[in-house]
Each structure stands twice: as structure tokens, then as C-alpha cells.
């Protein structure tokens, strides 16, 4: 069977360079899937999931490092309190233009799931499907406690090397961008409630029953407020990384979801 083709791209912007990677199956079916990573994530931390996703769905998969993360250019500014919503018109839009993506499926993990919701809400005519994995819809105590616990872990000797492996000299900024933004007074009332009713495409919402950064109240909150057909799956014995902990189940659910959408068009 022909292998997936993997290509790396450096996308120039007025704020620096974005790193992107695409996985293209030999026979493509359907529009591309664009991946949005989590608060400490990057392309490399998706590991083998994008390739598996491309193989399972027959679709081109595109992932990119947001500015300040992974192999994209560094940044020194603090994240704005509306950074989730801003992704729609910044890095995400740049990637869409670079790859000439007119129609798409968007998949986001954790805070990337929130960004994916905003992308789907902003482009109802272009977004054919929305998939979130371990997404949060608002700020609560469990999320903040989880963030503070990880901050304590990274304060221990040698722990920052885990982030430096993927983010290099940007690792400290990446950690502070997550902790200081989510735990700030300016962010405490953040939520997606204004965006969710604007989502009209089909929605697949995946969440672990033991997610460290958001109870199962979050996925129920998300699917109850979107306007299109929504499919919710709570994965048992699963934390914040369903695509790593239960990859075969996640891939099967995504493939089935996309096949249903394709058949219904």
C-alpha cells in the first residue's frame, strides 16, 4: 500500500514564520483536516496521530505550530485574554490561505478545541465538520488546579527539558503563556457561550471520563449549545489525551463521523 506523503512548510508572515506539516494519502477523499494543538503542544507532540488520521480517513491532514510554539518563530508578548478567539483571524487564517483551503474539517485538542469551535462558528459556509478532543468551554476550579499542579512539576530540576525538547528556547514562554493566561483575573470569566450557537456544522465531541483539565460537564455544555447535529462520546478510563490513550477508538469514531458527513452531502 502506498505510504503517506509527509511535507514540511515554512510559512512567512508579518510576525515571523509558522511551521506547518501535512500528511497526504495517495488517494484523497474529502476536504483537508486542520489540526489545532493544545496549550503546551506543537506539531511534533501530535506524534503519529496525524499520519494515522490521514490513513484512516483518506484525507490530507494539516498541522501547524502556533506562533511562539514548536518550530514557529518566538514571541515575547503575553497572550491576550481573547487569544482563543483571535486564532481564527491570525495563524489559522494564514495557514488556510497558504494551503489554499477553501473548505475544511477542523480538529482541536484542549484549548485547540476551543479555537476549532471559533473557526467553525466564523466560517459556517466553509467548515464541513468540527471535532474536539478534551476541549474546555469555560474556566473552572478543576482546570486551574490542574494547571497549577503542572506548574509545580515543571519547577522541579530537569523538568523544563521536557518542554525544551519540543519548543527549544521558547519553552519557558510556552509554560508561562499557559499558566499566566488561564490563571489571570482577566481570563476568569472566559467562555465560548457566544460562539457555540454559531456552530451549524456537524460536531463530534470526544472527552475522557478522567480528564485532568475539565470534567465531563464541559463536553455536555458544548454539544448542548451548538446548532448542528452533535455527537458526544465520553471515553472510559481516559484522561486528557484520548488520541494517545485510546488511538484506535478515537480514529474509528472520527472515521465514522466523517463518512456519515460525506454520505449526507
Coil vs helix vs strand at 223:
helix
Mean pLDDT by 10 residues, the chain (265 residues): 88 96 93 98 98 97 98 95 96 97 98 98 96 98 96 92 96 97 97 98 98 97 96 98 98 96 71
Neighbours of 86 (CB within 10 A): 15
The residue extents of the domains of the chain are: 5-137+191-260
Instruction: Give me 106's grid cell.
Output: 477542523
φ and ψ at residue 123, rounded to 5 degrees? -125, 65
What count of residues does the chain have? 265
**pLDDT at position 260, please?**
87
Its CATH class, for the domain covering 5-137+191-260, is alpha beta
The C-alpha atoms of residue 150 and residue 137 are separated, in whole angstroms, by: 20
pTM of the model: 0.97
- Taking CA atoms, 3 is separated from 32, 61, 134, 170, 220, in Å, by 17, 14, 30, 33, 38
Amino acid at each position: 500500500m502506498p505510504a503517506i506523503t509527509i511535507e514540511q512548510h515554512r510559512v512567512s508572515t508579518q510576525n515571523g514564520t509558522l511551521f506547518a506539516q501535512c500528511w497526504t494519502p495517495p488517494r484523497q477523499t474529502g476536504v483537508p483536516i486542520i489540526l489545532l494543538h493544545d496549550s503546551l503542544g506543537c506539531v511534533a507532540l501530535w506524534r503519529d496521530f496525524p499520519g494515522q488520521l490521514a490513513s484512516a480517513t483518506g484525507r490530507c491532514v494539516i498541522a501547524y505550530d502556533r506562533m511562539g510554539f514548536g518550530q514557529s518563530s518566538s514571541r515575547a508578548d503575553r497572550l491576550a485574554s481573547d487569544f482563543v478567539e483571535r486564532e481564527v483571524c491570525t495563524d489559522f487564517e494564514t495557514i488556510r490561505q497558504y494551503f489554499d483551503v477553501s473548505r475544511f474539517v477542523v480538529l482541536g485538542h484542549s484549548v485547540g478545541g476551543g479555537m476549532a469551535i471559533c473557526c467553525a462558528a466564523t466560517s459556517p459556509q466553509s467548515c464541513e465538520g468540527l471535532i474536539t478532543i478534551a476541549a474546555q468551554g469555560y474556566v473552572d476550579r478543576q482546570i486551574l488546579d490542574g494547571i497549577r499542579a503542572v506548574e509545580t512539576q515543571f519547577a522541579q530540576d530537569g523538568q523544563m527539558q521536557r518542554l525544551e525538547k519540543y519548543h527549544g528556547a521558547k519553552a519557558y514562554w510556552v509554560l508561562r503563556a499557559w499558566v499566566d493566561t488561564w490563571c489571570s483575573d482577566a481570563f476568569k470569566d472566559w467562555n465560548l457561550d457566544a460562539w457555540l450557537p454559531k456552530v451549524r456544522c456537524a460536531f463530534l465531541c470526544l472527552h475522557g471520563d478522567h480528564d485532568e483539565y475539565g470534567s465531563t460537564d464541559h463536553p455536555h455544555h458544548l454539544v448542548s449549545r451548538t446548532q448542528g447535529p452533535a455527537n458526544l462520546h465520553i471515553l472510559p478510563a481516559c484522561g486528557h489525551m484520548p488520541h494517545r490513550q485510546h488511538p484506535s477508538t478515537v480514529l474509528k469514531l472520527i472515521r465514522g463521523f466523517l463518512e456519515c458527513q460525506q454520505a449526507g452531502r
